[in-house]
Amino acid sequence: MTDEKAKDAAEKAEPVDYSEYRKHVLLAGQKSQDDYDKTTIVLSGGALGISFAFLKDYLGSGQIENVNLLLLSWAAWGASVAAVLVSFYTSHLALRKTIDQIDSGRIAKEKPGGIYSRITAALNLSAGILFLVGLVLMIGFTSVNMSNRRVENGKDAKSSIPAQTHFATPKASTPATAPK
């Protein structure tokens, strides 16, 4: 019987004013999404740019091995950026849906944002995972190609700087050997 009394009391209660919650949803959703999306785009886009520079400047025209790792890392970073771009739109739809739910009084009965919130969350998770997958693939590609660089005739194959395998330790000066 106590459940019935609680249910009756809830039905007779004054309607809850969700206007402050509505404002909070708008501001928090926009800020959080903006920060995450900007970070993911900067990291994925920057990683693409750095990998192009690495390929051009460091590996040069030498033989490149395991190109599939490089291509897969680029694909993962590109898909990461694409996921963020799509999440911009689905996030916007989720916020609009939440506002509609608040305005119509359905917010307490439905998941805020509905399916759009779930899609946005999945896209954001995917973007982060794809960035990390691209990073792991690029580390693998770099590792394989860096270990294959050869040192020929005591010089790095790409530069004229002599290869150095150890460093000489300076000798301590004594009064007899000190420069005059």
For 47-82, how does the pLDDT look when each residue is reduced to its tens digit (9 = 90+)? Answer: 888 888 877 776 666 778 888 999 999 999 999 999
3-class secondary structure, 110:
coil
* Residue 171 predicted with pLDDT over 70: no
Residue 12 confidence (pLDDT): 66
CA-wise closest residue to 127 among 72, 71, 84: 84
Residue 165 confidence (pLDDT): 43
In this prediction, residue 161 has a pLDDT band, given cuts at 50, 70 and 90, of very low
Residue 13 confidence (pLDDT): 64
In this prediction, residue 146 has a pLDDT band, given cuts at 50, 70 and 90, of confident
pTM of the model: 0.63
